[in-house]
Structure 1
Amino acid sequence: MLGFQLVQEGRIRLSITPEMKQSIHLLTLSGQELARYLQEAAEENPVLELEEPSALRARLSRRLNVGKFSSHDPLLQVQGDEPTLEHLLISQLRLQNLLPSLENTAVYLAGCVNEDGYLTMDLTEVMSARGVSMPEAVAAMDILQSLDPAGVGARNLRECLLLQIKRDPLANEYAKHMVEEGLEELVRFHPGRAGTRLGISSQQAQAAYDYIARLDPKPCRSMGCTERPHYIVPDAVVQIRNDEVSLRLNSAGVPRVSLNEACCRWIREIDADEIWSGRAAEARAIIRSVRMRRRTLMRVLAAIMSEQEAFLREGPAGLKPLNLAVIAEAIGMHESTVSRTVNGKFVQTPHGVFELKAFFASGLETTNGEMASAPAVKLRLKELIRSERAERPYSDSQLTALLANEGIVISRRTVAKYREELQILPSLERKRWA
């Protein structure tokens, strides 16, 4: 027989409030992202008031002296768009006295050049698109390839190098022949074998190879850049003053948040409804979350710099192994909180601007029982390769032995991995024969 009864039981349930969720979200934001978030929040909530940093206002007033110019228009200070590569090429074509049909075809080809300077359209497709003959398409391509910089309009790497060699009055006399023989021979270059194949000495082959290596495989990569430059604004600044470490958060660009007193007074006087009371509570929650973010970031940063004080005094060579658990235990927080705090944050140090994640490095055990960080080992590896003899470069096995003599126990495979991460060629390709 079925029946009903009331049963009371206790359960532990983990829940997260909207304010906690907001605090976690703000903790993961960088300074620039936080500024955008606060701007959007202030546009939606009139109770929240933003004040631009005083340092920024001072710089603007000194630089522009806005008080003397009541009709100052900030739009006049906006920088115009940079000309694209296509516009730069077309401007050169306009200066040449070309037949209209030939000029139009050359202008069409200029629009088919990618950001590296290579022609991405086959001439047969140009014939079909423009309704011209093959000789006319070739003539337009030759005009395009005669423009600056040398190598523009090439259809492949081999043609790009040959165009640069042809335009260079000081080109190596054997470089053209070497490129025409095949680029695959330059990957595993050996001056003795190359000289025998070309009928020249190994010294001449080495000189031609060195000249080819100085040519630009992407001649237009610095022209007509369509991407805006990306600037990193550090979230904190670390300095050493009077032999002591000084920490401060960078407030430049991040507005100060506060409550709009007039709006709050109006809400209290009229005994506003739940909507306006909710807006006020939401603004107070944002202010508390911003303050908590500052405190957490400052605590995590202080703990990191305390562990990496040798880095502040010696540079990257003094970087020691570190993980999230050490910092979490030092400040009494969970590892996930530390991970959110360092995510996307940058710090300005006496040795440059670094991402906070860069201070959490894996370690390698040394013969004296201590630990050496992976970045420090990479730096030492780079120094060893820089000091090697060009005619007898160190192999990966020799580099492993040299590091072992310094107390750093590391396998040859790890040395090869670090060398590839540093974008350093193998010993055979680093060797110079003449």
Structure 2
Amino acid sequence: MLGVQLVQEQRLRLSITPEIKQSLHVLTLSGQELIRYLQDAAAENPLLELEEIPFSPYRSARGTERLWHGVYDPLLQARRAEPTLEEVLASQIRIAIAPEEQKRAAVYLAGCLNGNGYLKIELTEVQSDLGMSINEVTAGLKLLQSLEPAGVGARNLQECLLLQIHRDASAVPHAAQMVQAGLEALVPFHPARIAARLGITAQAAQRAYDYITQLDPKPCRSIGSDESPHYVIPDAAVELVNSEMVLSLYTAGNLRVSMNEACSSWIRKASPGERWVHRAAEARAILRSMQLRRRTLLRVITAVLDEQKRFLSEGPDAIVPLNLAVIAERIDMHESTVSRAVNGKTIRTPYGMYTLKAFFDTGVKTLSGTETSSSAVKRRLKEIIRSESVNRPYSDSQLAAVLAEEGIVISRRTVAKYRDELRILPSLERKRWV
């Protein structure tokens, strides 16, 4: 028979408390995300206080690490909103010498351009909207296409390139003829074929092609961009002082997080209820999460830079292969914790801004038995291609052979992969005939 009985047993189970979840979440946030998180938390919890902090560097016992409380606000360098493309063109139309009806049509067409300066509306539709003749709308389009930058108001890429060529007094001969013949002949480009098609020499075709590739296919993309600028607040900064590494941690937007003493004292003395006790516990948990984040970041960044010591003195080419397991073992943390600490973090170095992930690179074996980073191999590959003969560019096999002579052993397929990642054309399309 089956029976029912009560059994008491003891088990060990790993459980993540809400406070641990909060600490892990705070650790994954970048500097800018942390600012928003703290501001939202302070808006919901009256016990939390945020205040600007003055310059007050803190140096740790090691003498090579410090916590930086200096005023660092990149938003002070932010530019004001730029005029839109429509406003830029309208200001040119206002001072143009043309009939008013033509100006009105040009202003309307300027408002119909996309972000790259192309007109994606039919002239018959504009004619219907404005109640003008097709000749007046066409005249307005010609006025629009005469404005700066050259190529604005084009209806397709071919017309955009032709507008730029016709406005350029130093345009290379046969460039307009080559564009009019069709853009499909330019990709891929073969000088002998296009020369035979147009009745010109291969050298003339190559010069015209080189000129065309310097034209801007999106002439208005930098004017009145709808995308807001992205400003990066570094989480840390590193520099060499007397051949010694000095690491500085930036606080989150120069904000000091603390608990309101008056509210805390009131809660302890008056015992207002469970709600306020819960709020106080939340505030203390956020403060502990911030302290843990700071300590973890300091340990992780210090370990990463110790592994990449040559980077500070020799530059990006000296980055060595590195993975999360090495850092995790060095600082006695789990790989997932190191991954969270590295995610989204930026560090200011003597060679510019770098993400922490940039210091974790795969390795490529060399003949000496050591390893070099794949990013260093890519930079060397780019240098070799930049110095090659334009008449006889290296094939992927030849590039692999040149790297092998320097002690870097990679296959032709790996060379092709790196070249694609660098957005470098194959040898046939890099070849120049002049």
Normalised TM-score (structure 1): 0.91
Letter in 2 for 1:47: L
- 2:60 alignment counterpart: none
Give how far 1:132 is off: 3.7
Select between 262-271 and 357-366 the one with higher mean Cα deviation: 262-271
Tell me the SS of whatever aligns to 1:237.
strand
Select between 202-211 and 84-93 the one with higher mean Cα deviation: 202-211
State the distance in 1 between where 2:50 and 2:120 align.
50
Give how far 1:359 is off: 0.9
Q: 1:59 to 1:32 in 2, by over 3 A?
A: closer
- 1:140 alignment counterpart: 140
State the distance in 2 between where 1:32 and 1:17 align.
26
Provide, for residues 60-110 of structure 1, a one-character-per-residue CA deviation record: whole Å limited to 9, x for no partner.
9xxxxxxxxxxxxxxxx9975321101111222222354444333322211
Give how far 1:297 is off: 0.6
Asked if structure 1 preserves the Cα contact closer than 8 Å seen for 2:102 and 2:143, the reply is no
Letter in 2 for 1:146: S
State the distance in 2 between where 1:425 and 1:396 align.
11
- 1:180 alignment counterpart: 180
- 1:207 alignment counterpart: 207
1:278 corresponds to 2:283: no
- 2:49 alignment counterpart: 49
- 1:400 alignment counterpart: 400
- 1:219 alignment counterpart: 219
State the distance in 1 between where 2:420 and 2:78 align.
42
Tell me the SS of whatever aligns to 2:221.
coil
1:94 corresponds to 2:97: no
Letter in 2 for 1:153: G
- 1:322 alignment counterpart: 322
- 2:367 alignment counterpart: 367
Identity of aligned residues (%): 62
Asked if structure 1 preserves the Cα contact closer than 8 Å seen for 2:84 and 2:225, the reply is yes
Give how far 1:227 is off: 2.2
State the distance in 1 between where 2:248 and 2:197 align.
64
Give how far 1:43 is off: 1.6
Select between 143-152 and 251-260 the one with higher mean Cα deviation: 251-260
Give how far 1:129 is off: 3.6
Asked if structure 1 preserves the Cα contact closer than 8 Å seen for 2:35 and 2:252, the reply is no
Asked if structure 1 preserves the Cα contact closer than 8 Å seen for 2:34 and 2:252, the reply is no
Give how far 1:360 is off: 0.9
Provide, for residues 98-154 of structure 1, a one-character-per-residue CA deviation record: whole Å limited to 9, x for no partner.
444433332221111111111111223333444444333322221211111110000
Unmatched runs of 5 consecutive residues or more in structure 2: 57-68
State the distance in 2 between where 1:121 and 1:425 align.
35
1:338 corresponds to 2:375: no
Asked if structure 1 preserves the Cα contact closer than 8 Å seen for 2:117 and 2:152, the reply is yes
Letter in 2 for 1:345: K
Structure 1 segment 376-395 matched on structure 2, within 5 A: 376-395=376-395
Tell me the SS of whatever aligns to 1:311.
helix
Give how far 1:244 is off: 1.7
Structure 1 segment 151-170 matched on structure 2, within 5 A: 151-170=151-170
Asked if structure 2 preserves the Cα contact closer than 8 Å seen for 1:32 and 1:254, the reply is no
State the distance in 1 between where 2:181 and 2:271 align.
87
Select between 142-151 and 48-57 the one with higher mean Cα deviation: 48-57
- 1:230 alignment counterpart: 230
Letter in 2 for 1:320: V
Asked if structure 1 preserves the Cα contact closer than 8 Å seen for 2:321 and 2:373, the reply is yes
Give how far 1:335 is off: 0.8
1:309 corresponds to 2:318: no
Tell me the SS of whatever aligns to 2:310.
helix
- 2:243 alignment counterpart: 243
Letter in 1 for 2:307: E
Give how far 1:379 is off: 0.9
State the distance in 2 between where 1:392 and 1:55 align.
58
Give how far 1:195 is off: 2.8
Q: How many residues align?
A: 419
Asked if structure 1 preserves the Cα contact closer than 8 Å seen for 2:237 and 2:249, the reply is yes
- 2:253 alignment counterpart: 253
The alignment yields a C-alpha RMSD, in angstroms, of 2.2
- 1:347 alignment counterpart: 347
Provide, for residues 354-412 of structure 1, a one-character-per-residue CA deviation record: whole Å limited to 9, x for no partner.
11111111112222221121101101101111111122111111001111112212111
- 1:25 alignment counterpart: 25
- 1:71 alignment counterpart: none
State the distance in 1 between where 2:331 and 2:2 align.
56
Asked if structure 1 preserves the Cα contact closer than 8 Å seen for 2:53 and 2:256, the reply is yes
State the distance in 2 between where 1:252 and 1:94 align.
47
